[in-house]
Each structure stands twice: as C-alpha cells, then as structure tokens.
Chains A and B, each alone.
Chain A
Amino acid sequence: MDKALCSLSLEEARKGLLRRDFTAFELVESLLRRIRETEPALNACLAVFEDESLKQARAMDESGPDPSKALWAVPVTLKDVYNLQGAPATAGSRMLKDYLPSYEATVVKRLREAGAILIAKTNLDEFAMGSSTEFSAYGPTRNPRNLAVVPGGSSGGAAAGVAAGQAPGAFGTDTGGSIRQPAALCGCVGLKPSYGRVSRYGIIAYGSSLDQAGPLARTVSDCGRLLSAVAGPDGLDSTCSRRPPEDYVNLKEKAPGSLTLALPRELWEASFHPAVKETLDGALELLKAAGVGLKTVSMPALRYSVAVYYILAAAEASTNLARYDGARYGYRAEKYGDLSDMYKKSRTGGLGREVRRRILLGTFVLSSGYYDAYYKKAAQARRLIRDEYLKTLEEADFILAPVSSIPAWPFGSFTEDPLTQYQLDIMTLPLNLAGGPGLSLPCGEGSDGLPVGVQLMGEPFKERSLLEAGLALERMFPKPPDITRSPLTLPRG
C-alpha cells in the first residue's frame, strides 16, 4: 500500500485523502521516503521540509478532510524561486545561498490557503536562465528516465521530481519554455499560463515581461487543479490581469473531431533528431486518425524568436539582477577594495557564468548607441510575432508545435556553446513573447527510450479550453512509462 501512494496522481491522492483511504501523514511519509530514495541519483531538491510537512499532515489528519479546499493535504514542490518564509530562496545561485526572505510569494500564500503541503524546493538553472538545469550552483539534476542525460530546464528539478514520484504536482516558472521543455524531456505535463494569469509577486524575477508561474504534474487535469488554486488577480502584482479566472477543475474533454490545430511550418520543418522526428510523426498520425483537423500554416516572424527573446529577456534580466550587489543581502566577496570593487567582486563571485553572460548581453543591448538597433528593434519584432500568433488563432483552435527538436541530451553537450543552446529554444520562446498559454504533454517515446512532447498553444486567458483540448490529446497519445517506483541508482564509479 505505502509504495503505491507516491505513484498516485494528484487527483487520485486527493480523492483517497477525502475518502480517508489513507492519511495525509501516510501520503507525506511515502513521498518523503521516495525523495530520500531518489535524491542521491536525481539531485532534484534543494531543500526538503520533512519535519514541517509531517507536522502539517498530522494536524490536518486531526482536523479532518476539507473538500472545500482545492488541494487539501496535497503535497507539492516549489521551484526555488518562490519566496516562502523560514527557508532560503536561492534561485539556484551562490548569490542567494543563505538568503532568507522576509515575505511570501502570492502563489505560496494561495497554495497554503488551498490546503497544500509544501514538501520541497526544487533545483533549477541559476535564476531560471538555462534549459538543462546544469547551470545550478548546487549541481545539476539528472533525468529520472535516463540518469546520463539532462532533465531540461530551467524547472528541471520540478519535472524530474514529478516524473520520479517525489510529488504529484510541482510549481515551476516559464520565461522561455522553462516549464514546458523539462516536462517534455522528463515525460510529464506542464502548463504555462497566459502572462498575467498568475501573480509574479514574490517569485525571483528573470524577465519581467516574460516570466509566468505554472504547474507541472503527471496528468492534464492535475495541472488544471493546481492552476485553479493560484490563478487570478493580485493587487500586489500590477501586471497581473484583473480578469476573473475560469473553472479549471470541472473540465469537459473536447471531441477530437471538433478540433482544428495549426502547425507552423517554421517549427515543424526544423531539423530534428531522428528519434524525435519519428515520435512526432507518429503523434501526428494518431491525431489524424482520431479526426483532429491539422492545418499547416506559415508564421514567418517566428524565425526571429530567438534573437528577439534573448535581447528582451537579457535586457530585463540585466536590470532585474542589478539588485544583487552585495550591499544589503546575499553574497558579498570576502576581500575587496572600494565600493566599485565590492560590487564587481561580489557580483562576479556570486553569479554564475551563464547569468553573467546574459547580464552582459542585456547591458549591451540597452546601452547608448545600441538601444535602437537591438532593444527597440526586438520589441518591434515582438509585436509582429504576437500579431501573427493571434491571427493564426483566428483560423484554428490551437497552435500545435514540438517542444524540443532533440531529446534530453548528455551533460555538458552545449555548456561551451551558448548560441547553439539558445537556438534550441526556438520551439518554446514564441509563446512567452506572445503572452499566451501553452500546455506541454508527452506524445510518446523515441527509439532511444526518451520521452518526446508536443505543446498546444491557445488564445490568452483561455486556459480552460486549452486544458479541455489537452485532455483529448492525452487520451490519444501513449502514456509514458510509470517510473514512480523504479529504483533510480547511479552506476558505480
């Protein structure tokens, strides 16, 4: 019985808890055991709240189930960019190794109100900059489906943990694919909500006009339930939309025959790894067979997504990260001369190489003489990308695209070649530039045994309809193998 608890989906766990098939304590204990068992191999967690979670579970068992709470006693993990009191918020950086927040993120407050038990904080690329979780100051996370490859990123710890059965649900953030891509590479489901659907308050920022918090889980409906607990207006984040959230829990699966999906040529005609290519072809066959309308479209501005994204995200990051100067909190170099030297040594010593690279790029594109040619030009091209995105959705219900052109890759493949790694993000970046919602879900596995994902992208603030279409696709595609009980041990030596 106990072994099975860590395998339950979020919906199953919730039902079992409400029926008192098992206690919250038993569920948390089972997940903590699974974390202890898998962490030596995965390194998905930066902090595990064993005592607090067990204590909270025991208290909830005593007061009894409360079905009015969307996530009553449901354990979830948080990417380590969410501020919660009593635990460091490191953002995967040496800079914030001992940083203790004095306030909590809106998402954290809402999860608590919904009854969730926050059991761990997960690993990530430093300040969410990366797509492999190799750029964490606390070591890389491994992919539970194959320990020799990366889990994707930047929410790599969240995706690896969910796939491996450490938790039925997780919260990550997605600035250029950081939820959707690791979900695809680890074989789970990830939802990036529309920009402004979930408050960013208290989430350590990377690119302010691109960042969005969202859930990862093993099923589409679990993502819907997680979203329902956190979505909606928040007076603390002025960029958060005042539109009321929809019902993301009582979903009605869409009939495949009623769906028309647009397939942008610019993404589908990219060069793919053969294992990915064959899996995607298979997925398209399944869609056709089920009666889904597939329509190839052209979105020429997508060609510029990588340049536009890296200019805008780096520009915003360069000033969002200016506050890490060693003056008030966080890392300060041990030896320094004057003020300017203190800044330079603390920033250079506290921030990792990829973060410094993006700060440098962002500083450059905003600097005098280059602003118009890079920053402003990119913001103009961003409008073209968004207009094209919205126009395409006038002709189809959703846009369907691959999530990654290659399967999860061996460690170190691109760490010395940043431009190539940036270019690999082309599948996921356009959605953040447009501000729409996107759902990444597994569509099979390649001959190499690694999962492959596709993403559905929809109109801004139509997450409900996106999830309902996701339910239909989820039913059509093969389910990834369940590895929530598999032993994950590193080969010796």
Chain B
Amino acid sequence: MENMEPVIGLEIHAQLKTKTKLFCSCPTEFGAPPNTNICEICTGQPGALPRMNARALELAAKAGLALGSRVNEFSLFSRKNYFYPDLPNGFQTSQLDPPICEGGSLAIALEDGSRKTIRLNRIHLEDDAGKCLHDARLGATLVDLNRAGTPLIEIVTEPDLNSSKEAVDFLKSLHSLLVRLEVTDGRMEEGEFRCDVNISLRPKGSDKLGVRGEIKNLNSFRFVGQAVEYEIRRQSALYRDNLPVRQETLHFDSVKGETRSLRSKEEAHDYRYFPQPDLPPVYVSPELVERLRESLPESREDALSRLSALGVYEGRAELLLDRPGALAYFDKAYGVYPDASRIFSLMEEHLLPLCWRDSRDPLSAPFGPEKLATLARLMEEGLAGRRSVKELFPEMYQTGSDPEALLKAKGLEQISDDEAILAIAREVVKSHPEEAAKYRAGQDKILSFLVGKLMKLSRGRADPKKASGIIRDLILHDEAEKS
C-alpha cells in the first residue's frame, strides 16, 4: 500500500484548570469519594439552572490566543441531547455554532528539521460527563457524578497529519503548550488530556478524503501511536483486499493493541442540537482579549533560547516547559541567586522528580525557589556537599526547612575549614603510610584513594576539592620536612 497515505485529524479534550465546575461551584478535584462533589445543578435536579464559570471562558480564550485562533466576541452554548447514565440532564452543554475560538494552528518539527503547520478548525467549551463503573457482582452499572460538569475545551484540528509520529508529536507539543499556559494540568492518567483520532487513507496526491474510522478516547501518547499504526494497517488491508472501509466508531484495546468497532450496527445518532435557553451568549470583551494576550507567557522557542543563553542546554531545558510551574520556579530561584546551571541541576535531580511523583506544581512545594537558591549558594560557597544535599533534599522538600539551618542541625554542614581538613588528612596519612609513600614515589593515581579515605573519615562532609589539595600538600610537605 505504498501508494496510499494516511490522513489524520484530532479532537482533543483538555480539562480546564479551574477550581469549580463549568456550570456550578462544586470542586473539580480528582479522587474525591464518589458522588461527594455534586449539587442540584450537576446532577440535573428539577428546577436547577447552570451558571457559567468566568475562569473557564478565560482559559479557553487564552488557549485560542496562544494558538493563533480568532476569539469570537459572542459564542453560544447548545444542548446536545442523548440518554446515558453518566449524563444527568439528558443533554451535554456544548458549543456548536459559533464556538469561542475558530482557526489557529500549531507547528511540529519534522525529521528533516523543517516545520509543518497543523491547522486548527475550532476550540469550543463543553462540560464533561460523569463516570460509569460496571459492577459484575451486582450485575449493575454504578454512576459517579463527581466529574459531571467539569469544564473542558475541545480542540479540533484539520486533517493535516499524515503519520502516527506526526500525530504524537503534535499532541505532545499541544500538551506542553497548554500545560505551560496553565490552561490545563494535563494529567493524562487522570483523563485531563485525551483525544479522539479520525483516520482515513487516500491515494497519494489525491485531495479527496477517504472513509474514516474514529478512534475514541485515547489517554496516552503511546496509545495514540499504537492505535494509529494499527488502524493504518487495518484499513490498508481492507483496501488491498478490495473490501469496503466502513465509517465507524472504534475503541482501542491497549492490551491487545488493536482497534475494535464500538457500535456494530450503524446506530442512528440524532443529537438534536439547539441553543441552550438557560444560558446567555458567552461574551468575550475586547478588553479581556487584550488582558489575556498580555498575560501569555513567552513562546516555547523564546523560552528555550533564553535558557540556552543562561547556560541550560536546549535538550535538557525542555524539562522546564513540559509541566506547569517549573519554568516559573526556575525564574524565581534564578532571580534570587543567578547561577542557572546549579539551580537547573538541583531542580532536575532533586526537586522535579519529587514534585512529579506527588503531582504537585513546584511553586506550591514547601521548599520554595528562595530556599533552592540558598542551597545553590551554599554549594557554590562550598558549605554544602553533593552528598549531604542528596541525603537531606527529601526532608527539605517535605518540610520546607531552611537548608543552612538543617545542614547545621544534622551536622552535615560541609567542612571547608583548612585546619579541620588538615587534621583529618593527618589521620589518613598516619593510618596509610605505605600509600603515602607510593604517592611520594610518583604513583599519582593513588592520591584519589587517599582522598576517598579522607572523605570517608569526614563522613562525606569535607569539601572534596579542598581535600585533595590539602592531603597532597601534606604528603609532599612532610617529605620536604623530613629531608
């Protein structure tokens, strides 16, 4: 099937980073006990009416501005009607026409180093459904409405992608941008960033679209890659064998690594969209657009080149852009103590892995950027050693304690005082006279053994740089004294 090419379009759902739901003031926190974050509005009680969350519309508009979309001054919510147990009102409230943002684009890097622009069709606001769990023992479906009403944006691309790699690269790039904009937390394992993939094949060079399959609800980059690959193979085989490709909705089975038809018969869907009469049009004022535009963070490209100028390698600096808060944390710490590479190393090795383990925005960690800056300074001044930092960091992170005080309290403060190191060096030379003699005789390599002994004796606290100089001077000086 070398003469066929895949045509791929994506519909991405990103959960907006709000404190409350789209139409009620229930919290959006993940992992609350079932049906505790619910009220009359998000459970569809008789007489309840929706109230739009202002923050949600700001975040949607902000995403649009960063993606170069046109933000509509007025957009409308519609009701999308269907029955399902996770949909308490019997309709989803979503934007049909017009949506809050139209157009826009995002570029991805191709293997040859060039960039390809992927056009966006639209971005619209909508509310999420609840969750159904299937209880085999009861033979029933259990419904948890905590998630019902959570604000989402749906970003719809044009069918501009032509391989699984392009699709995954686009998603990664979009994810990282939205996270950095703080539009979403983007925790994919919690379903905060998921996507539907539309995929069809067509003869190369043709501009017509083939019959497409729609793979629903993929929530990891890896699954997107696998699902697209599988679907390309499946459709190719159908074309090769001259079998019809049906338009269908597919589910990706991540265990078997294959797609499966969700609806065997072509079930007629008729959503009966119509303007939601309980909500006024969504209004985004020109002033708000201006304010949001000013609040946009520097672009990814700008941030990377700035970091590179500070001495943070481009390949590694990405780390600061992929999750919310990391770059801001870095900038704050750097503002206090301008040693970019030391601050970056501390974040890369110690802080960020712990934050990510805890799904925590670094800025909200008890160990704030000022403290990390202090730690960097202590290291630079030789008052904190790598080993002590490694040992004590988890505690500093947990408690947010002052690094200087903690090092002192734990007796792990680095020994930089020459006299103190010299005293230890004497001990070492005294207990290892043969090795000292070998060094004197010209076996340079043995010095590191002696330094190691010194470090061990100091329980790692001696400043290693000073230690080697002092012990060398001691051995050679002794020689001079003797002779």
Contacts and interface: CB of A to CB of B under 8 A. Distances in A.
B44 interface: yes
Contacts of B79: 319
A319 B44 contact: no
Interface string A92-109: 000010010111010000
Contacts of A375: 274
A456 interface: no
Contacts of A323: 44-46, 88-90
Nearest to A202: B47
Interface stretch (A236-244, A422-430, A479-487): A236-244
Contact of A96 (B40, B46, B270, B272): B46
A375 B277 CA distance: 13
Nearest to B79: A319
Contacts of A102: 40, 45
A339 B270 CA distance: 19
A322 B92 CA distance: 11
A366 interface: yes
Interface in A304-330: 315-316, 318-319, 321-323, 325, 327-329
B191 interface: no
Interface string B269-284: 0101110011110000
B89 A328 contact: no
B19 interface: no
Interface stretch (A19-27, A154-162, A204-212): A204-212
A236 B51 contact: yes
A235 interface: yes
A238 B272 contact: no
A96 B45 CA distance: 11
Given A103-B40, A322-B89, A328-B88, A200 B83 contact: no
Interface in A183-227: 200-205, 207-209
Contacts of A201: 47-49
A366 B46 contact: no
A205 to B, nearest CB: 6
Nearest to A322: B90
Given A201-B49, A343-B83, A327 B89 contact: no
B83 A235 contact: no
Contacts of B274: 315, 319, 366, 371, 375
Contacts, number: 101
A367 B91 CA distance: 14
B277 A101 contact: no
A302 interface: no
Contact of B272 (A103, A325, A367): A367
A238 B46 contact: no
A419 to B, nearest CB: 23
A351 interface: no
B89 A238 contact: no
Contacts of A6: none
Interface string B80-94: 010101001111000
B429 interface: no
Interface of B: 39-40, 43-52, 79, 81, 83, 85, 88-91, 141, 143, 270, 272-274, 277-280
14 contacts: A89-B46, A101-B46, A204-B46, A204-B47, A238-B49, A238-B278, A238-B280, A239-B280, A319-B91, A321-B90, A323-B45, A323-B90, A339-B141, A340-B83
Given A201-B49, A366-B273, 17 more contacts: A81-B47, A83-B45, A91-B46, A101-B46, A103-B45, A201-B48, A209-B277, A237-B49, A238-B49, A315-B274, A322-B83, A322-B89, A323-B44, A325-B83, A325-B90, A327-B85, A329-B45
